[in-house]
């Protein structure tokens, strides 16, 4: 046995809550080691400690390799620098005199590394112009440039389409061939069994099990994660669609989407499927007023409405859970309570004042209703785990009491248990008569929840399918550019 990484009895607390409790972990050189567990199980905290980003309260991390690199779930790149500058960041080759950048050498190095990964990206292009998948590849190239032999990937496929995820898996296979060790954090069963040599399960900050992937099956893995057997099927509501509540006609925003039309009825879930960059999020953002369309009509209850800002949308009963929690979801320094009530403050007040009791009661009710794992309503949301943060964002949208709810990747970066809770919630909301527009990259999610699925390709709505009569393959066929 040749352990490249050993974690010995590491503990860490935030705000009086134990995020990690004497966790042990041993990772063998050259293996793909999956780390999985529910919301707040402590996966991200453990990875940050291993990467040296935060210190443990107790315990030790022993690393016997050349270097550790971490690919964060929300990529930390320099969007205004070029790909080559990103790859070489911190160890730029120099010529002529110290500190003088050797730009040709940088481009060469970046091109070689990217070619090794099988990615065709121009080293001179601006990082921010690349797709998420391409940026991720560049981050991996950067890790290789630093000769990292342990790469931590935190939910790397959460922002990728199925096709892009395939490319990532191939890259991971290559890295393994070269003897690079991968610590792979994920909630997705298929990925675990497809990629992992060993699996470690965390639950409530404790180490539950580490086993060879061959000795594990899906049912038992889920049981280990949640501590009980779980039904993973989605309770699909029978379609009871009522009157048309939202209609979109000829919605266009040049360069993003064109001539998109559809209707949404009371109690109906309309799925919006497609690859990354097909314009799904842009359509949702246009309806919610985050980035209004250039032309086209939005009708609520049959009347044309002008929506130039989210405030307009909310006043017409439209709420949205955005895809990007960090940028468009949370106010990190604010407490859980203040985040939850931000869209519905007017309801907890007299005149311009806030009624403290009413607001606190509303926040406590949401914490209970969503089973948010927290030390209390005054905890800053930045200290919550990703899944719990997502619950906060959803709770905020629901407190605004919308009739139309737009959900953009509502289960991105969330574990199986919380995912299931959110599925049940979406189905219940539809039963209660809310009209739901669901944007998702996960085929299973969209097929099992939606009443109808609209497929987008390169900015246009190309097909509408009925989930009962369709397959992921059919949808993918519509979604793929010719």
Partner 1 sequence: MPATTKKPWPAQLGLALALVALMGALSLERPNFLTVANLVNLVRQISINGILAVGVTFVLLTGGVDLSLGSVVALTGVIAASFAHPGQATVLAPLAMGILAGACCGAANGLVVTRGRVAPFIVTLGTMTSARGLALLISHGRPVSNLGPAFARIGGGDFAGVPVPIVIFFLVALTAHVFLKNMRLGRRIYAVGGNENAARASGVHVGAVKTIAYVVSGSLAGLAGVVLASRITTGQPNAGIGYELDAIAAVVIGGTSLNGGVGGVGGAVLGALLIGVINNGLDLLNVSSYYQQVIKGLIIVGAVWLDRSKDRS
CB of 388 to partner 1, least distance (A): 12
Interface region with partner 1, contact rule CB under 8 A, candidates 3-11, 28-36, 320-328, 455-463: 320-328
Decide if residue 375 touches partner 1 (CB under 8 A).
Answer: yes
Q: Residue 397 contacts by C-beta under 8 Å, 6 or more apart in sequence?
A: 319, 320, 321, 343, 405
| Whole-angstrom distance, CA of residue 244 vs CA of residue 249 | 13
**Residue pointed to by tokens 């403290």:** 356
Kindly state the smallest distance separating residue 364's Cβ from partner 1, in Å. Answer: 6
Helix axes 132-145, 162-177, angle to 10 degrees: 10
Among 229, 327, 468, 481, binds partner 1 (CB under 8 A): 327
Selected binder of partner 1 within 265, 396, 412, 434 (CB under 8 A): 396
Q: Kindly state whether residue 480 participates in binding partner 1, applying the rule CB under 8 A.
A: no
291 binds partner 1 (CB under 8 A): no
Angle between helices 103-116 and 132-145 (to 10 degrees): 110
* Candidates 42-50, 239-247, 368-376, 410-418; binding stretch for partner 1 (CB under 8 A): 368-376
Cβ density class 208-230: b for 16+ within 10 Å, e for less = eeeeebeebeeeebbebbbeeee
Tell me the angle at which helices 356-369 and 386-399 cross, rounded to the nearest 10 degrees: 130
263 or 354: whose CB is closer to partner 1? Answer: 354
Using the minimum distance from each CB to partner 1, give the nearer residue, 212 or 346.
346
d(CA 91, CA 182): 23
User: Does the protein bind partner 1 through residue 328 (CB under 8 A)?
Assistant: yes
Binding residue (CB under 8 A) for partner 1 from 218, 259, 378, 401: 378
Q: Which 8-state DSSP code applies to residue 239?
A: P
Is 199:210 a contact under the CB 8 Å cutoff? yes
CB of 264 to partner 1, least distance (A): 20
CA 421 to mean position of chain CA atoms: 16
Residue among 331, 424, 431, 432 that touches partner 1 (CB under 8 A): 331
Contact between 305 and partner 1 (CB under 8 A)?
no
| Binding window for partner 1 (CB under 8 A); candidates: 20-28, 163-171, 333-341, 459-467 | 333-341
Task: For residue 269, give the nearest of 459, 429, 396 by alpha carbon.
Answer: 429
Chosen residue from 77, 322, 420, 441 binding partner 1 by CB under 8 A: 322
Residue 350 Cβ vs partner 1, minimum distance, rounded to whole Å? 11
Residue 64 engages partner 1 in binding (rule: CB under 8 A): no
3-state secondary structure of 347: helix
Q: How far is CA 404 from CA 115, 191, 267, 297, 408, in A?
A: 46, 34, 9, 16, 13
Nearest alpha carbon to residue 36 among 180, 224, 228, 230: 224
Apex CA 379: angle with CA 378 and CA 384, to 5°?
145
Q: Which two tokens stand for residue 151?
A: 């790469």
Q: Which is nearer to partner 1, 251 or 400 (CB)?
A: 400
Member of 75, 354, 425, 476 binding partner 1 (CB under 8 A): 354
Of 113 and 336, nearer to partner 1 (C-beta) is 336
Q: Is 329 in the site for partner 1 (CB under 8 A)?
A: yes
Under the binding rule (CB under 8 A), the answer on residue 311 touching partner 1 is yes
Instruction: Single out the residue of 243, 301, 333, 401 in contact with partner 1 (rule: CB under 8 A).
Output: 333
> Closest approach of Cβ 14 to partner 1, in Å?
12
**Cβ-contact 409, 323 below 8 angstroms:** yes
- Interface residues with partner 1 (CB under 8 A) are 15-16, 288, 290, 309-311, 313-314, 320, 322, 327-334, 338, 342-343, 345-346, 349, 352-354, 356, 364, 367-368, 374-378, 396, 400
């Amino acid at each position: 046995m040749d352990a490249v990484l050993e974690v010995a009895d590491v503990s860490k607390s935030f705000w009086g809550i134990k995020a990690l409790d004497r966790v042990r972990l041993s990772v063998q050189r050259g293996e793909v080691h999956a780390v999985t567990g529910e919301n707040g199980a402590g996966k991200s905290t453990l990875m940050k400690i291993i990467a040296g980003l935060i210190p443990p309260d107790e315990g030790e991390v022993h690393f016997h390799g050349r270097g550790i690199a971490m690919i964060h779930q929300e990529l930390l790149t320099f969007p205004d620098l070029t790909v080559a500058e990103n790859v070489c960041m911190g160890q730029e080759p120099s010529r002529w005199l110290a500190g003088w950048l050797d730009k040709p050498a940088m481009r060469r190095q970046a091109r070689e590394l990217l070619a090794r990964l099988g990615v065709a990206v121009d080293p001179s292009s601006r990082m921010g112009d690349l797709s998420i998948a391409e940026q991720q590849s560049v981050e991996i190239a950067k890790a290789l440039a630093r000769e990292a032999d342990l790469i931590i990937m935190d939910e790397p496929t959460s922002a990728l389409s199925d096709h892009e995820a395939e490319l990532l898996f191939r890259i991971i296979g290559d890295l393994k061939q070269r003897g690079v060790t991968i610590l792979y954090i994920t909630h997705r069963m298929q990925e675990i069994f497809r990629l992992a040599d060993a699996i470690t399960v965390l639950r409530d900050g404790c180490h539950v099990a580490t086993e060879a992937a061959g000795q594990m099956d899906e049912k038992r893995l889920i049981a280990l994660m949640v501590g009980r057997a779980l039904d993973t099927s989605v309770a699909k509501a029978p379609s009871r669609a009522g009157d048309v509540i939202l209609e979109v006609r000829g919605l266009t925003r040049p360069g993003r989407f064109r001539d998109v039309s559809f209707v949404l009825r009371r109690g109906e879930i309309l799925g919006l499927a497609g690859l990354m960059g097909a314009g799904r999020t842009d359509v949702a953002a246009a309806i919610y007023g985050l980035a209004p369309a250039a032309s086209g009509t939005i009708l609520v209850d049959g009347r044309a409405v002008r929506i130039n800002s989210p405030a307009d949308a909310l006043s017409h009963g439209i709420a949205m859970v955005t895809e990007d929690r960090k940028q468009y979801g949370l106010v990190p320094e604010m407490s859980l309570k203040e985040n939850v009530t931000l869209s519905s403050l007017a309801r907890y007040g007299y005149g311009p004042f806030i009624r403290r009791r009413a607001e606190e009661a509303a926040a406590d009710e949401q914490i209970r209703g969503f089973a948010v794992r927290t030390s209390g309503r005054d905890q800053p949301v930045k200290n919550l785990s990703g899944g719990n943060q997502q619950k906060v964002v959803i709770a905020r949208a629901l407190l605004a009491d919308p009739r139309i709810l737009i959900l953009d990747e509502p289960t991105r970066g969330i574990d199986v248990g919380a995912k299931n809770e959110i599925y049940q919630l979406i189905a219940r909301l539809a039963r209660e008569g809310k009209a739901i527009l669901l944007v998702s990259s996960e085929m299973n999610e969209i097929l099992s929840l939606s009443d109808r699925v609209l497929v987008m390709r390169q900015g246009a709505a190309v097909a509408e399918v009925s989930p009962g009569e369709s397959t992921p393959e059919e949808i993918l066929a519509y979604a793929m550019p010719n």
